[in-house]
Structure 1
Amino acid sequence: MIGKTREYPQEIMILEAIVRRFPPDDFRKAEFEKKLYRKRAGYKGEKTLDYFLEQVDHSEMVILHDLRIPINRTHFQIDTLIITPYFLLIIDSKNYAGTLIFLPEFNQLIRVQNDIEEVFPDPILQTKIQASQLKAFLKKHHITPPPIENLVAISNSQAIIQNPTNDKEVSYRVFRSANVAFKIPPFYKKHTQSHVSKNEMKKIARHLIKAHEPLVPDPKSMNLPFDKMVKGVQCPACEAFGMDYRQGKWTCLNCGHKTADAHIQALKDYFLIYGPSITSKEFREFMKVRSPSTVKRLLSSMNLTFDGTTKGRTYFPGKSFFD
């Protein structure tokens, strides 16, 4: 069973909003675009692994996706955790392109792409550290950990994987995501003794899900040019800003496209960049809407909660506003 699904990361949503609204003539926009590209690639790799994992028999396992668990004064993250009666299995997903050269002697992964060499941390070592942290977490909650195994999934089908030292652990731990159905069964042969019951499996899952703290970056710490961020409603057709609201429709002044709900994405951008609240005045200025009655009608039409009287009301995103 899937105990925790993988959700679209709020970190990516924040970066998308920043890139959309960043002043186009500011050279720093390229930095955020690059970071967004990396985060999207990582998420795509995780979803690729999820697709192939769906084809595995789930009857004797609980699968938790995308965990971020506090430990001491920091957090440890696990892309995918499989809980079985016999063992726990951590799978870390990497979506790197190019040629990947594993050098475990120095705990390095070398990526060669377009004749450029880059050094990355050893993902096998990363999963070992995650296993150690997970073990400590379970002991803290008075749970005797079953054996913990670890794998590294390479999700980019075009990547070239090299193991120049013929290291046995690299061959054993590293695999292509499409092969996950064949990497799990050997662990059942290795670990034949049952350590936890089905109820205990669910207990482990509940503790981890309860402790999970999703990463939500604070845009205020990113040194953004808040006063220069692009305002207005963006056209979903041509992506130009500055749609005009008339007679219940947003009309793009650039391409003529009309739609009734373009303000919803604009409001999501506002919440993601400026914080989880907005007033009627702030809404009017950000959306570039002149009519107070129109602002009131638009705000009341969305899944928002509010606090205060009509005149001084502050609005917040509803529970499913970002779904």
Structure 2
Amino acid sequence: MFLTDRKDPEELLFYQALSRWRGLDKNSEEHLWRLRRGAAGERTYDLLFDEAGHSNLYVFRDLYLQIEGSVTQYDTLIVSESGITVNEIKNFSGDYRVEGTTWYRGDYALPDDALSQLRRAVGKLLRLKRAVSFEFEVSGKLVFPHEEFRLSGGEGSLFQHLVMRYDMRRYFRSFENEYSGGCASELADVIERHIVPNPYFKLRVEFDMVRQGLYCGGCGSFRLEKQSFHHLCLSCGSRESNETHLVRAISDFKYLFGDLEMTSRRMMGFMGGAVNVRTLQRILNKYCDAAGRYKSSNYIFKYYDFTEAMKKEQNTRKYKDYLN
């Protein structure tokens, strides 16, 4: 069973928001593309794992573990009575080759050796093993979910650590005879005690460095026409409720500005006064927790991102959206 959610990385949410509110240079656009590709690979992985079934396992996704004073990120940890299996997901596409310990895409040498990354991740869990009072095994695989990934070169032993797209279903079915008993439950508890928030996300932008207004969730245009309870996109014809627009802006504010206090006055400036204060205040009270000395001086978004908020509040929303 999946014990943790797979969410879009904070870095991805930052660059997606920045691409709308300020725009990106070429290097940042390429980085955003890589982040989106990585997230797509993780969704493919989860879908195929779901199809194979995992109710007999404890599966942790997208987590950070603090072990011996340092923090390591893991794409997936599969826990059973046999121990922990690390799955690092690499959504590479195209032709790659390995020479020695160096991975190449064409003539370009990748800065990081994927197998060495996996070994470091496994090594951290072996250190965790020394810190607890029972024995368990740790193993790992690099999983490549893209159908157009091809790899050549390398020693034969390299491929023992890899799972290609065509072999993923068989790989997941290999866990059918595993089970999660008392040892697995205790091991899952140990992992949960070591989970920490992402300490590496530090990206921020200055408040005055972005444009003001609201943008269409369909095409990204800021050319909106205000109606009674919706905004009409003059570029693509999509019509979204005021609530949808405000929640998207609140989520983007969170990832663009970090610790900057979210006040109603600051949000009005961020949105260019696109809605009246009463509407904004109602949405802030619904989707945020009030904080500060007077309980209304600033707000903290209650949800991870716009997608989570829309999903959890879908039954309380009065007006529908119409995207083209």
- In the superposition, the TM-score normalised over structure 1's length comes to 0.80
Deviation at 1:209, TM superposition (A): 2.8
**Residue 64 (structure 1) aligns with:** 60
Matches within 5 A, 1:101-116: 101-103=97-99, 106-112=100-106, 116=107
Counterpart Cα distance in 1 of 2:137 and 2:161:
15
**CA 98–13 in structure 1, closer or farther in 2 if over 3 Å, else same:** same
Deviation at 1:258, TM superposition (A): 4.0
Note if 1:136 corresponds to 2:127: yes
Q: What SS does the aligned partner of 1:266 have? A: helix
Counterpart Cα distance in 1 of 2:225 and 2:268:
12
CA contact (8 A) 1:48 1:177 kept: no
Deviation at 1:202, TM superposition (A): 1.8
**Residue 295 (structure 1) aligns with:** 277
Note if 1:265 corresponds to 2:248: yes
The counterpart of 2:82, out of the listed 77, 81, 86, is 86
CA contact (8 A) 2:3 2:60 kept: yes
Note if 1:228 corresponds to 2:216: no
The counterpart of 1:217, out of the listed 182, 196, 201, is 201
**Residue 157 (structure 2) aligns with:** 169
**Residue 320 (structure 2) aligns with:** none
Counterpart Cα distance in 1 of 2:28 and 2:281:
30
Note if 1:148 corresponds to 2:138: yes
Deviation at 1:187, TM superposition (A): 8.6
Deviation at 1:290, TM superposition (A): 7.3
Deviation at 1:233, TM superposition (A): 0.6
- In the superposition, the TM-score normalised over structure 2's length comes to 0.80
Counterpart Cα distance in 2 of 1:238 and 1:53:
32
Matched to 2:301, the amino acid is P
**Residue 70 (structure 2) aligns with:** 74
**CA 184–254 in structure 1, closer or farther in 2 if over 3 Å, else same:** closer
Q: What SS does the aligned partner of 1:55 have? A: helix
The counterpart of 1:157, out of the listed 128, 147, 154, is 147
Note if 1:15 corresponds to 2:22: no
CA contact (8 A) 2:145 2:168 kept: no
Counterpart Cα distance in 1 of 2:272 and 2:297:
19
- More moved, 49-58 vs 262-271: 49-58
Unaligned runs of 5+ in 2: 309-324
CA contact (8 A) 1:81 1:91 kept: yes
Deviation at 1:275, TM superposition (A): 3.0
**Residue 318 (structure 2) aligns with:** none
Note if 1:283 corresponds to 2:283: no
Matched to 1:136, the amino acid is R
**CA 58–238 in structure 1, closer or farther in 2 if over 3 Å, else same:** closer
Deviation at 1:251, TM superposition (A): 4.0
Moved over 6 A (4+): 185-189, 309-312
Matched to 1:295, the amino acid is V
Aligned length: 301
**CA 41–254 in structure 1, closer or farther in 2 if over 3 Å, else same:** closer
**CA 219–122 in structure 1, closer or farther in 2 if over 3 Å, else same:** closer
Matched to 1:123, the amino acid is A
Matched to 2:117, the amino acid is Q
Counterpart Cα distance in 1 of 2:305 and 2:120:
36
Counterpart Cα distance in 2 of 1:175 and 1:307:
47
> Per-residue displacement from partner, 1:257-294 (whole Å, max 9, x unpaired)?
54323222122212221235322221221111177xx2
Matched to 1:33, the amino acid is E
Deviation at 1:134, TM superposition (A): 0.6
Matched to 1:20, the amino acid is R
Counterpart Cα distance in 2 of 1:257 and 1:161:
43
Unaligned runs of 5+ in 1: none
Deviation at 1:208, TM superposition (A): 1.7
Q: What SS does the aligned partner of 2:216 have? A: coil
CA contact (8 A) 1:280 1:296 kept: no
The counterpart of 1:205, out of the listed 184, 188, 199, is 188
Counterpart Cα distance in 2 of 1:310 and 1:188:
55
Structure (1 or 2) with the larger CA radius of gyration: 1
**Residue 180 (structure 1) aligns with:** 168
Q: What SS does the aligned partner of 1:80 have? A: strand
Over aligned residue pairs, what C-alpha RMSD do you find?
3.1
